[in-house]
């Protein structure tokens, strides 16, 4: 078993791959600098583009002998206005503006809205947001094929700009025809997580999980107010969560977003679900080699909140400084995690264990490791569930997830504090302890004579049987 690249922080980093980061050299730099999971954004690029990137990531995985997670983020339903004569108009506050099903080019009085479901669902007084919330309309009257609105906040509006309807649950599926084709492609090529966009209800998540059929985990992107209304049901249905603050920030007042971020992270932690905080974290580094101090504080806040991972979007996909952005995020996370206040905050947020043996063993492992100063907790895990339960306890030593499954190891790349290692199956607790000590030493977590805590399920090889804890000396 070869020595492997080891991170000296618990919070993981997700880096989006795009035109600025698709060469083998740049991908290797991003991984070595700190990226744990790579995100493929299916809103952009062809299947051929994504396949080339996917193959490069898997080659990188073989080169470094480290599992790398891949997140395939599907576009979801994008609601847009039609086109204008001249390509652009200026809407004046206080003016009336009509949205209708007529495909003719628009002007300062009207434009096509090729989404009859919005017209059907909108009520008098409902708010419509255009162009990422820059323009705001209020519905005055409606007919079967049109909405008459008042321009509350005016400004320039050009062809095909987005429409958000924060007040309304729209009767549209979370997966479009394009999304289904993208999902089929991604699943065929062995991605690890599906990023599910614009979820409104638990049924959207269950539909994606049915398509995935266990081949990938579903990471629900929380970006609609309607999803917050159904938070518990969605959390119970999903495998992982992303706080997607871009669209969330369009449909919610800005002052609500930090509160909602904490609420989502808390709900995910309670269930032991991986949770990623995303969007505009180091936005200025798209064109500058250093972030603003506010951006550094934003990343730090997500780490203090207890997120499993923080994510870079355009910074690493299309920016001028992708490697520097990953390096900066790594530095900020590592610095926060060295702070005594961080440890106290994380300990205070620890949820009560669920009344199951696996949770009781995970809580005991955290407490024993803390008491004896163990160098690591080694969790034997087939499906990843045992490592997730231990990570939920946020122990103050690293978690080594030992698994016979490469698929499980890749999925654990997004989980707080877990260093996943693919290793052979064991048949007894004696073998488990011996392998744990060997791996902890080879991976650089423990020296001879130091102690580790081993968590496993007896009989071995059966998922969901975590019931044993052993203290071992390396």
> Region 239-262: what's the mean pLDDT?
95
| Banded pLDDT at 467 (limits 50, 70, 90) | confident
Of the residues 16, 238, 279, 381, which is catalytic? 279
| Banded pLDDT at 52 (limits 50, 70, 90) | very high
Three-state DSSP at 193 gives strand
> Region 254-280: what's the mean pLDDT?
97
The verdict on whether 301 is a catalytic residue reads no
Residue 3 has pLDDT above 70, yes or no: no
Ramachandran class of 174: left when φ > 0, alpha when ψ lies in -120 to 50, beta otherwise: alpha
Same domain, 308 and 430: no
pLDDT 10s digits, 58-117:
999 999 999 999 999 999 998 999 999 999 999 999 999 999 999 999 999 999 999 999
Structural domain includes residue 350: no
Please tell me the total count of domains within the chain.
3
Same domain, 249 and 207: yes
Structural domain includes residue 298: yes
At residue 51's C-alpha, the angle toward residues 184 and 217, to 5°, is: 45
pLDDT 10s digits, 136-171:
999 999 999 999 999 999 999 999 999 999 988 899
Contact yes or no for 60/346 (Cβ under 8 A): no
Of the residues 12, 39, 110, 410, which is catalytic? 39
Percent of the chain residues topping a pLDDT of 70:
99
Same domain, 279 and 381: no
Same domain, 201 and 304: yes
Same domain, 192 and 305: yes
Structural domain includes residue 4: no
Same domain, 213 and 302: yes
What pLDDT, on the 0 to 100 scale, is given for residue 8? Answer: 92
Structural domain includes residue 352: no
Of the residues 7, 80, 138, 271, which is catalytic? 80
Structural domain includes residue 344: no
Same domain, 362 and 294: no
Same domain, 178 and 36: yes
Structural domain includes residue 351: no
Q: Domain of 289: which CATH number? A: 3.20.20.60
The verdict on whether 293 is a catalytic residue reads no
Same domain, 179 and 290: yes
> Which residues contact residue 54 at a Cβ distance below 8 angstroms, ignoring those fewer than 6 apart?
40, 70, 189, 190, 191
**Cis before 67 (ω within 30):** no
The verdict on whether 149 is a catalytic residue reads no
Rg (CA), the chain: 24
What pLDDT, on the 0 to 100 scale, is given for residue 457? Answer: 86
The verdict on whether 430 is a catalytic residue reads no
| Banded pLDDT at 466 (limits 50, 70, 90) | confident
Residue 1 has pLDDT above 60, yes or no: no
Three-state DSSP at 467 gives strand
pLDDT 10s digits, 195-221:
999 999 999 999 999 999 999 999 999
Same domain, 315 and 195: yes
Percent of the chain residues topping a pLDDT of 90:
92
Structural domain includes residue 347: no
Same domain, 283 and 322: yes
Contact yes or no for 149/124 (Cβ under 8 A): no
Q: Domain of 115: which CATH number? A: 2.40.33.10
Average pLDDT, the chain: 96
Residue 2 has pLDDT above 50, yes or no: no
Q: Comparing C-alpha atoms, which of 99, 214, 226 is closest to residue 174?
A: 226
At residue 303's C-alpha, the angle toward residues 297 and 307, to 5°, is: 135
Structural domain includes residue 83: no
Residue 129 has pLDDT above 50, yes or no: yes
Alpha carbons 258 and 149: distance in angstroms, whole number: 31
Residue that is last in its domain, among 132, 164, 196 = 164
Contact yes or no for 419/443 (Cβ under 8 A): yes
Of the residues 221, 323, 375, 392, which is catalytic? 221
> Region 22-32: what's the mean pLDDT?
98
> Region 262-282: what's the mean pLDDT?
97
Residue 458 has pLDDT above 90, yes or no: no
Of 161-165, 192-196, 412-416, the range with the lowest mean pLDDT is 161-165
* Count of residues in the chain: 474
Range of the domain at 64: 12-76+174-339
Same domain, 61 and 95: no
Residue that is last in its domain, among 164, 196, 212 = 164
Residue 324 has pLDDT above 60, yes or no: yes
What pLDDT, on the 0 to 100 scale, is given for residue 4? Answer: 59
Residue that is last in its domain, among 135, 164, 193 = 164
Q: Domain of 455: which CATH number? A: 3.40.1380.20
What pLDDT, on the 0 to 100 scale, is given for residue 50? Answer: 98
What are the φ/ψ torsions at residue 219 (nearest 5 degrees)?
Answer: -105, 105
């Amino acid at each position: 078993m070869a020595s492997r690249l080891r991170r000296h922080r618990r919070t993981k980093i997700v880096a989006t791959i795009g035109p600025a980061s698709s060469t083998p050299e740049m991908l290797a730099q991003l991984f070595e600098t700190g990226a744990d999971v790579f995100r493929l954004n299916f809103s952009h690029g062809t299947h051929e583009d994504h396949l080339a990137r996917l193959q490069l990531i898997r080659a990188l995985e073989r080169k470094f002998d480290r599992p790398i997670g891949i997140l395939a983020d599907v576009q979801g339903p994008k609601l847009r206005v039609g086109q204008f004569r001249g390509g652009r108009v200026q809407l004046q506050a206080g003016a009336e503006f009509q949205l209708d099903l007529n495909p003719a080019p628009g002007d300062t009085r009207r434009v096509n809205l090729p989404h009859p479901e919005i017209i059907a669902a909108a009520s008098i007084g409902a708010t419509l947001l255009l162009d990422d919330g820059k323009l705001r309309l209020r519905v005055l009257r409606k007919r079967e094929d049109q909405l008459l609105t008042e321009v509350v906040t005016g400004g320039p509006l050009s062809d095909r700009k987005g429409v958000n309807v924060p007040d309304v649950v729209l009767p549209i599926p979370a997966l479009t025809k394009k999304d289904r084709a993208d999902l089929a492609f991604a699943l065929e090529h062995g991605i690890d997580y599906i990023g599910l966009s614009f979820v409104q209800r638990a049924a959207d998540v269950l539909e994606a999980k049915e398509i995935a059929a266990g081949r990938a985990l579903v990471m629900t992107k929380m970006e609609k107010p309607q999803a917050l209304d159904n938070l518990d049901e969605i959390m119970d249905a999903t495998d992982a969560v992303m706080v997607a603050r871009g669209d969330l920030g369009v449909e919610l007042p800005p002052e609500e977003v930090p509160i909602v971020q904490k609420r989502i992270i808390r709900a995910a932690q309670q269930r032991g679900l991986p949770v990623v905080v995303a969007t505009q974290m180091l936005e200025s580094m798209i064109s500058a080699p250093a972030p603003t101090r506010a951006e550094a504080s934003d990343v730090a806040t997500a780490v203090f909140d207890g997120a499993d991972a923080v994510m870079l979007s355009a910074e690493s996909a299309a920016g001028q400084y992708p490697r520097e952005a990953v390096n900066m995020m790594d530095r900020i996370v590592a610095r926060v995690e060295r702070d005594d206040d961080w440890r106290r905050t994380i300990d205070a947020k620890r949820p009560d264990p669920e009344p199951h043996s696996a949770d009781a063993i995970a809580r005991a492992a955290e407490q024993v490791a803390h008491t004896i100063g163990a160098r690591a907790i080694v969790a034997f895990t087939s499906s990843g569930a045992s490592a997730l339960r231990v990570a939920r306890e946020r122990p103050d030593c690293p978690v080594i997830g030992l698994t016979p499954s490469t698929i499980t190891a890749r999925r654990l790349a997004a989980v707080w504090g877990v260093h996943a290692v693919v290793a052979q199956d064991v048949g007894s607790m004696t073998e488990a302890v011996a392998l744990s000590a060997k791996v902890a030493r080879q991976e650089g977590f423990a020296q001879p004579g130091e102690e580790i805590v081993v968590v496993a399920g007896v009989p071995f090889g059966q998922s969901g049987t975590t019931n044993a804890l052993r203290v071992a000396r390396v």
